Amino acid sequence: MLTLYNSLVYWRADNSSSILLKSGNAFFGNATPSDQRHIEKPFKVKEAEPVNVTKPSPHKLLVLGGSGFVGSHVCKEALDKGLVVSSLNRSGKPSLNEPWADKVIWNQGNLLEPASLKDAMDNVSAVVSCVGGFGSNSFMYKINGTANINAIRAAAEKGVKRFVYVSAADFGLVNYLLQGYYEGKRASEAELLSKFTYGVLDS
């Protein structure tokens, strides 16, 4: 008969087999107290306290421009909140020597090539676009307008519930100097409101 007491004990028999029992002393079969000489000084182990393990979030966030200044902060904040985070990069995983980057799922794709966005949108709950750029007017429109419009359309087609578009606020004279940027921004905002009808613009 096996007699069990209250503390955790590690018991090693002569045959080198290891048994972990919730007991202070253990007697098997016809064992008697005199047989305890075969037990090598059992020692007690404190019972472990229960640990609360946070379940992984079922929500997946896609951050566009995740390797940039703003996007990287969005990625880190989302990871800290326990979200599954993915991002898109033309070469796949970028050469970032930072711990958070290893926790992001990096998809290879190009926002100017709509077909390459479909896989990245799979099982995504929300998209945050931090994509933007400065240069010639045509370049700025392409990056701030066309690229974001492609992303908005791809997200809508995949049934993504939320889309957040991050951009610079309007500043009067600066709008003229950065005409391509703000024209692209307004085109993206118009597309966003047409595809995600409950959206709000906040500059």
Q: 75: domain CATH number? A: 3.40.50.720
Look at residue 125 and give its three-state secondary structure. Answer: coil
Residue 53 lies in a domain: no
- Please tell me the chain's helix, strand, coil percentages from 3-state DSSP, rounded to the nearest 5: 35, 15, 45
Same domain flag for 41 and 64: no
Same domain flag for 40 and 67: no
Q: pTM for the whole thing?
A: 0.68
Residue at 97: amino acid letter: N
Residue 51 lies in a domain: no
pLDDT at 20: 39
Domain range holding 182? 60-195
- Which residues make beta-bridge pairs with 80? none
Give, to the nearest 10 degrees, the angle between helix 148-157 and helix 179-195: 10
Residue 54 lies in a domain: no
More confident residue, 188 or 15: 188
pLDDT at 80: 94
Same domain flag for 111 and 165: yes
pLDDT digits 0-9 by tens, 111-167: 999 999 988 999 999 999 999 889 999 999 999 999 999 999 999 999 999 999 999
Same domain flag for 184 and 118: yes
168, 133 contact by CB (below 8 A): no
pLDDT band at 31 (very low <50, low <70, confident <90, very high): very low
Among 15-24, 138-147, 181-190, which stretch is predicted with the lowest mean pLDDT? 15-24
Question: Rounded to an integer, what is the distance from CA 15 to the centroid of its chain?
Answer: 48
Residue at 185: amino acid letter: K
Same domain flag for 22 and 84: no
Domain count, the chain: 2
